[in-house]
Amino acid sequence: MTDYVRRILDARVYDVAMQSPLDAMPRLSARLGGDILLKREDLQPIFSFKIRGAYNRIARLSLEARACGVICASAGNHAQGVALSAHRLGIKATIVMPVTTPQIKIDAVRHWAGEVVLKGDTFDDAYAHAKSLETAHGFTFIHPFDDPDVIAGQGTIGVEILQQHADPIEAIFVPVGGGGLASGIASYVKFLHPEIKVIGVEPVDAASMKAAIEAGERVILDRVGLFADGVAVRQAGVETFRLCSKLLDDVILADTDEMCAAVKDIFEDMRVIAEPAGALSLAGLKAYVAANPDRTGALIAINSGANMNFDRLRHVAERAELGEAREILLAVTIPEQQGSYRRFVEVLGNRNITEFNYRYAAGSEAHVFVGLKLRGEGAEKASLLSELHTLGYQVLDISANETAKLHVRYMVGGRAPGLQDEVILRFEFPERPGALMKFLNGVGSDWNITLFHYRNHGADYGRVLAGLQVPQSERARFAAQLTQLGYPYEDETVNPAYRMFLGD
């Protein structure tokens, strides 16, 4: 820790970075109780904290290394940090990015005169190519997190926080991808104030640091979710794992809906839009507040970035209320008879209906997909479910059902009576020109497609819900075909939302 404190105090970051403000969040503080503050790294020149570590690393290169140039692999903020830092120092920078990288990020790198090389569909593909170019051309590889100078550069945020807030601090919440930011902040803060908690926050579907700490060694996740792409890292770094395992007080997990709710919280207090990874630490802070009603001292979250694709805002807005537990999604069975629709709406009373999907179906029962806004009282959800059950309605709470939220809600009524051997699968595939056709070609034409729903959410990866007729005798060959296709998928054939609204 002593070595890192020296490195942090000696870090060269302010040639390009600013001392970002530590802003109060009055609305959220009033709602949750206590003093909640946000460290505004979204205001940096590249709208991310990554400029600190990248510049500190590159600024310390020898003259010989500078002459050869630098290289990195990144699809996001680190790429921009390396490009800007190299530009300021007059050094050639090569940035290897996956082919799936959104154009806005490619353009941002080129703005700083970085040479962009597009390679592969994933970060791992880009990383492997960057390492081969490093060897071939003598470039210096600038790691996004697993480097002492990068860690030290990020640690300057910890210095600023302690200078900006002299009053007691209970906890600092830090987003964790590879762990460079958490390692740097914890190294400095714990050295001076070991009583202050430093808590990492990871997405539930990209929790590589939490998995490593629990296992006592670095682990490689089979796959990671891509909603918070800024922290979508399959394996923690060697040095960052060593530091985080010793210095972090805890690692809290947050899901997509909770991140969306945190994006909304930041907007309501600051009138700015955080990227999902930028709002991740605030989502963790809110989970901490819910679990720890007795608190003393301020709670501080790091808004690590604001590089949000505009198209993703519709998805964030759609899911924020669920993440705040201010909306509930229900699948309700009602009698298929005259007047039953009206009676059900009357039961809902004056509650604000956010979504209502209904279609006539032959038979004695009909199914309704309904979204309702909650007023915020903790017991309201349980009270509503109890009331509906008492009145004889069959009710299924699908607020946490990912397939229902992503796909089924848009497809209510799409039954196919008499359909046999239907298999329902949920896929993710790289969002690039021709990707959908590649997906269809990969699945092949041996099995009849019975259902297909695709929706672009403005992310690097597209999502598909597909139904295919696959007789039992062909399931093994079908599974082999999916393996050859190579896209991650989940079998949703027994998903209750599918069976209620789409199944036969």
Give the separation between CA 178 and CA 188, rounded to whole angstroms: 18
Q: How far is CA 241 from CA 76, 143, 237, 293, 394, in A?
A: 22, 15, 6, 30, 48
The closest of 147, 140, 127 to 50, measured between CA atoms, is 147
Location of structure tokens 């082919």:
99
Annotate 169-218 with three-state secondary structure.
EEEEEEECCCCHHHHHHHHHHHHHCCCCEEEEEEECCCCHHHHHHHHCCC
User: Is the alpha carbon torsion for 261, 265, 271, 273 positive or negative?
Assistant: negative
Give the separation between CA 31 and CA 286, rounded to whole angstroms: 11
Give the separation between CA 484 and CA 421, rounded to whole angstroms: 22
Copy the structure tokens of residue 186. Answer: 């914890």
Copy the structure tokens of residue 344. Answer: 């059900």
Write the DSSP symbol of residue 491: E
Strands (E), 341-448: 353-357, 365-373, 394-397, 422-430
Give the separation between CA 80 and CA 73, rounded to whole angstroms: 11
Q: Contact at 8 Å (CB) between 424 and 481?
A: no
Please tell me which residue in 74, 183, 187, 304 is annotated as part of the active site: 304
Helices (H), 367-488: 380-390, 402-406, 435-443, 475-485
Strand-pair partners of 361 = none
154 Cβ partners below 8 Å, 6+ apart? Answer: 49, 52, 53, 180, 181, 183, 184, 185
Give the separation between CA 119 and CA 133, rounded to whole angstroms: 12
Annotate 288-325 with three-state secondary structure.
HHHHCCCCCCEEEEEECECCCCHHHHHHHHHHHHHHCC
50 is catalytic: yes
Please tell me which residue in 20, 39, 48, 50 is annotated as part of the active site: 50
- Compute CA 33 distance to the chain's CA centroid, rounded to the nearest angstrom: 26
> Angle 2-9/180-192 helices, nearest 10 degrees?
110
Question: What's the one-letter identity of residue 471?
Answer: P
The closest of 21, 80, 16 to 46, measured between CA atoms, is 80
Q: Contact at 8 Å (CB) between 187 and 158?
A: yes
405 is catalytic: no
Residues noted as catalytic: 50, 304
